[in-house]
Amino acid sequence: MARIGVGLTVLLFPYAGVYTVLALFALFIAERKVRILSASLAFLLLLSFGLESTSLKLPLYLVAVSFVAPTFGALAARRFLDLRKSLAYLATTTILGYLAILWTSSQPVGFGAATGAAATAAVGLEPERILFLATLGGLSGAFLHTASTERDFAVPFGSCMVMWLFSFDYPLPELEHMAGIYVFALALGLAAYKMRAADAEAVISEVIICLLVIFFANIFWFLLLLSFYLLGSGFTRYKYARKQELRIAQSRGGVRGYKNVYSNSLVPLAMAVLYGVYGSDLFAFAFLGSVATASGDTLASEIGETARSTPRMITSFRHVEPGVDGGITLLGEAASVFGSLFTGVLAVATGMAGCEGLAAALLGGFLGTNFDSLLGATLQSWGYLSNNGVNLFATLFGALVGAALWAWLV
């Protein structure tokens, strides 16, 4: 009941504005179990009010959605497990978040200048943007609800920051087109879950990435990322029994988690968003280099580890055991070239890029894969980076190679 009460304080926003913190303070005193949640939401309200006089405005309607996520969303998800919990959370937060945005923007603002934050309402927001922000809040909230141990802080703060990051004015598809993209993204996620290629957190992560890449670039860009996911899932099972014998097989039968998804997809996602904002082919070439690196590195690892020849350390060329970070084989190098080439050929086939893009994928992917091995032999073996950190920096390196090639060609 206390959690429901916290969620219902959104109804006070148009009338009380920043003074809604008084109701949150009363709930903080009355019920111990919602103290962290009440304090987190009060902080967001005060932050919105404090930024009102600056150029970095945090709209009150985004704070309203962040109130819905950890209250009604969390209560709806309690009766479900695993992916069903996340989907129930997503549906509840999206629907109620949409209504919260409309409520916050359609009612009169009270208490005069003292509620400056409330004046930053969703007046003039088209239905597509309201749906996009509410869905983004639901997706980020669902992900944080399953991945975080400090939900009452991480969910409202994290979902609010994600919505704020993408709240700038940008042309979105029409409502019917958006609905089709949502269905496509969810269908892919459910298929990956059914095939045991991804867990619940990874599915939600992939849906977030799918929506943002398609909205800011187009579906062909996401198809390149999808090809990486499919190659990674398929070749993880390649000679899996042999990898188990060598004790180098992926854990959980190759089921991908959200860390693996984000470490390989965060740089391509950033390049797609930057391309949508600035429209420069620089970011398209960088995107190709980063995706090719992810594909090439995955194939180099999954295929190269099964080579009959003994791996050699990339820094000293001394023989090492299979699976040692930084170890390379001729088979692995050939696999990285194949993975990079596959990305480039797919980009050409879909019309995303020409021969120059193919070169960016091939060069960026091959160099990025070997940079991954170099980081594995140094910073990872020294304990400064995890495998996911190495993947992130390797895809960034591949993106830089692709961007450098574009700059050289221009």
Structure tokens given for 324: 């040692």
207-237 pLDDT, tens digit each = 999 999 999 999 999 999 998 888 877 776 6
Q: Is 323 left (phi over 0), alpha (psi -120 to 50) or beta?
A: left
Tens of pLDDT along the chain (410 residues)?
Answer: 888 999 999 999 888 888 999 999 999 999 888 999 999 999 999 999 999 888 888 999 999 999 998 999 888 887 676 788 888 888 999 999 999 999 987 655 544 334 444 444 455 688 899 999 999 999 998 888 888 888 899 999 999 999 999 988 888 888 889 989 999 999 988 888 888 777 888 888 899 999 999 999 999 999 999 988 888 777 766 655 555 555 555 555 556 778 888 999 999 999 999 999 999 999 999 999 999 999 999 888 878 777 778 888 999 889 888 778 888 889 889 999 999 999 999 999 999 888 999 999 999 999 999 999 999 999 998 989 998 999 999 999 999 999 999 999 87
Task: For residues 97 and 92, give the distance between their C-alpha atoms in angstroms, rounded to a whole number.
Answer: 8
8 A C-beta contact, residue 295 and residue 340: yes
The pLDDT score that the predictor gives to residue 192 is 83
| Cα–Cα distance measured from residue 215 to residue 48, given in angstroms and rounded to the nearest whole number | 27
Which pLDDT score is estimated for 330? 92
